């Protein structure tokens, strides 16, 4: 088996319009799909961010049922020279940075919340390489 990447990542949200406004308008993720009452999908670099209403996917009869509750975590990657610019852009858009961290390998990351209180992080490219 040779897996090349995680292609899709999923968050479960409570309001599709609010989620669309946050990820498309504030973070600038291109919209891929909206199905009213079910989901909104975004392009996130080479990956896809799936945002589902859990009550809809829990009852799905076509695909395996799936859902989650609670605060989930995702990290988005930026090139090291873009890190400070990205952080400043978040703040300029009214997004509160709740934590900044310097990792032992010298890389930095910052955390913020989406409208459902999911913990999002901006990390620098190369952080997970030796």
Domains of the chain: which residue ranges?
1-69, 70-130
Tell me the pTM: 0.93
Among candidates 53, 59, 63, which has minimal Cα distance to 15? 53
Q: 99: how many CB neighbours lie within 10 A of its CB?
A: 10
CA distance 68 to 53: 10
Q: What is the CATH number of domain 70-130?
A: 3.10.180.10
At 56, which helix (H) or strand (E)? helix 54-58
Q: Do 70-130 and 1-69 have the same topology in CATH?
A: yes
Binned at pLDDT 50, 70 and 90, residue 3 comes out as confident
Average pLDDT over residues 63-73: 94
- What is the total residue count of the chain? 130
* pLDDT band with cut points at 50, 70 and 90 for residue 42: very high
Was domain 1-69 assigned CATH 3.40.50.300?
A: no
């Amino acid at each position: 088996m040779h897996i090349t990447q995680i292609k899709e990542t999923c968050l479960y949200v409570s309001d599709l319009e609010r989620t669309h406004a946050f990820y498309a308008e504030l973070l600038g993720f291109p919209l891929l799909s909206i199905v009213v009452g079910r989901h909104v999908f975004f392009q996130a670099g080479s990956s896809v961010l799936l945002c589902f209403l859990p009550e809809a996917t829990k009852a799905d009869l076509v695909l395996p049922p799936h859902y989650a509750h609670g605060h989930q975590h995702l990290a988005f990657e930026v090139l090291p020279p873009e890190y400070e610019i990205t952080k400043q852009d978040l703040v300029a858009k009214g997004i509160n940075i709740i934590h900044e961290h310097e990792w032992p390998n010298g890389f930095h990351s910052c955390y913020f919340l989406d409208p459902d209180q999911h913990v999002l992080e901006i990390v620098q490219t190369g952080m997970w390489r030796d």
